[in-house]
Chains A and B, each alone.
Chain A
Amino acid sequence: MQKILLTAAIAAMLATPALPETKVGMITTLSGGGAGLGIDVRDGFMLAIKQSGRDDIEVVIEDDQRKPDIAVQLADKMIQSEKVDVLTGIIWSNLAMAVVPSVTAQGKFYLSPNAGPSQLAGKGCHENYFNVAWQNDNLHEAAGAYANTAGYANSFIMAPNYPAGTDALNGYKRFFKGEVANEVYTQLGQTDYAAEISQIRASGADSVFFFLPGGMGISFLKQYADSGVDIPVVGPAFSFDQGILQAVGEAALGVVNTSQWNKDIDNPANAGFVESFQAEYGRLPSLYASQGFDTANLLISAVEAADVMNAAAFRDALRAADFDSTRGAFAFGTNHHPVQTIYVREVIREGDVFTNRIIGAALENHSDAYAVDCSM
Chain B
Amino acid sequence: MIGERYVNGAVLIGLIALPLWALSADEVFTITLTTRAAILALAAVGLNIALGIGGMVSFGHAVFFGLGGYAMGILAFHAQTFSPLDFGLFALPGTKSMPVIWLVATVVSAFAAWIIGLLSLRTAGVYFIMITLAFGQMFFYFAISWGAYGGEDGLSIYVRNSFVGLDTLMPIQFFGLCFALLCLALLLQWRLRRSPFGLALNAARQSTERVQSVGLNPRQLKLLAFVISGAITGVAGALFADLNRFVSPTMFSWQLSGELIILTIIGGVGRLMGPVIGAAIFITLEHWLGGLTDFWHVWLGTILLAIVLFWRGGVIGLLTGKEGPHV
Contact = CB atoms under 8 A, between A and B. Distances in A.
| Chain A partners chain B | yes
Interface of A: 1-3, 30-31, 62-63, 67-69, 72-73, 76-77, 80-81, 93-94, 97-98, 101-102, 105, 117, 161-164, 166, 185, 187-188
Nearest to A68: B248
A164 B144 CA distance: 11
Contact of B152 (A2, A101, A163): A163
A69 B150 contact: no
Given A1-B287, A63-B290, A98-B156, A69 B151 contact: no
- Of the listed residues B29, B32, B251, the one surrounded by the most CB atoms of chain A closer than 10 A to its CB is B29
B291 A98 contact: no
Interface string B140-166: 010011010011111010100000000
Contacts of A80: 28-29, 32, 171
B244 A117 contact: no
Given A2-B294, A69-B246, A188 B287 contact: no
Leading 5 A-B pairs by shortest Cβ distance: A1-B290, A80-B28, A162-B152, A81-B29, A72-B244
A31 B297 contact: yes
B240 interface: yes
Nearest to B152: A162
- Of the listed residues B36, B144, B251, B287, the one surrounded by the most CB atoms of chain A closer than 10 A to its CB is B144
A161 B151 CA distance: 9
A163 B249 CA distance: 12
Contact of B154 (A62, A73, A94, A187): A94
A2 B290 contact: yes
- Of the listed residues B27, B141, B244, B295, the one surrounded by the most CB atoms of chain A closer than 10 A to its CB is B244
Contacts of A97: 150, 153-154, 156, 246
Contacts of B28: 80-81
Interface residues of B, number: 35
A161 B144 contact: yes
A72 B245 contact: yes
B143 to A, nearest CB: 10
A162 B142 CA distance: 10
Contact of A68 (B27, B154, B291, B295): B154
Nearest to A70: B286
B296 interface: yes
A101 B296 contact: no
Nearest to B156: A101
B172 to A, nearest CB: 12
Given A68-B246, A73-B244, A162-B145, 6 more contacts: A67-B250, A69-B240, A69-B246, A77-B32, A98-B154, A163-B153
Contact of A76 (B29, B250, B297): B29
Contacts of A161: 144-145
Contacts of B293: 2
A102 B150 contact: no
A3 B32 CA distance: 18
A73 B144 CA distance: 22
Contacts of B290: 1-3, 62-63
Nearest to A102: B245
Contacts, number: 94
A82 to B, nearest CB: 8
A1 B29 CA distance: 14
A63 B147 contact: no
A69 B250 contact: yes
B297 A77 contact: no
A98 B290 CA distance: 21
Nearest to A66: B250
Contacts of B246: 68-69, 72, 97-98, 102
Nearest to A78: B29
B291 A30 contact: no
A77 B156 contact: no
A30 B290 CA distance: 11
29 contacts: A1-B286, A1-B291, A2-B291, A3-B291, A31-B294, A31-B297, A68-B246, A68-B248, A69-B248, A69-B250, A72-B244, A73-B33, A77-B29, A80-B171, A81-B29, A93-B153, A94-B154, A94-B248, A98-B154, A98-B244, A102-B156, A105-B158, A117-B153, A162-B145, A162-B151, A162-B152, A164-B153, A185-B145, A188-B152
A188 B144 contact: yes
Contact of B248 (A81, A98, A188): A98
Interface string B272-304: 000000000000001100110111110000000
B264 to A, nearest CB: 19
Contacts of B296: 1-2, 31
Nearest to A76: B32
A68 B158 contact: no
Interface string B21-52: 00000011110110010000000000000000
Nearest to A117: B153
A62 B32 CA distance: 17
Contacts of B245: 72, 102
B32 A73 contact: yes
B196 to A, nearest CB: 39
A102 B154 contact: no
A358 B147 CA distance: 36
Contacts of B248: 68-69, 94, 98
A112 to B, nearest CB: 14
Contacts of A69: 240, 244, 246, 248, 250-251
A3 B292 CA distance: 8
Contacts of A188: 144, 152
Contacts of A93: 153
A103 B240 CA distance: 18
Nearest to B297: A31
Interface string B233-269: 0000000100011101011000000000000000000
A88 to B, nearest CB: 18
A183 B171 CA distance: 47
Contacts of B29: 76-77, 80-81
Contacts of B147: 163, 166
A161 B140 CA distance: 13
Nearest to A119: B153
A165 B253 CA distance: 20
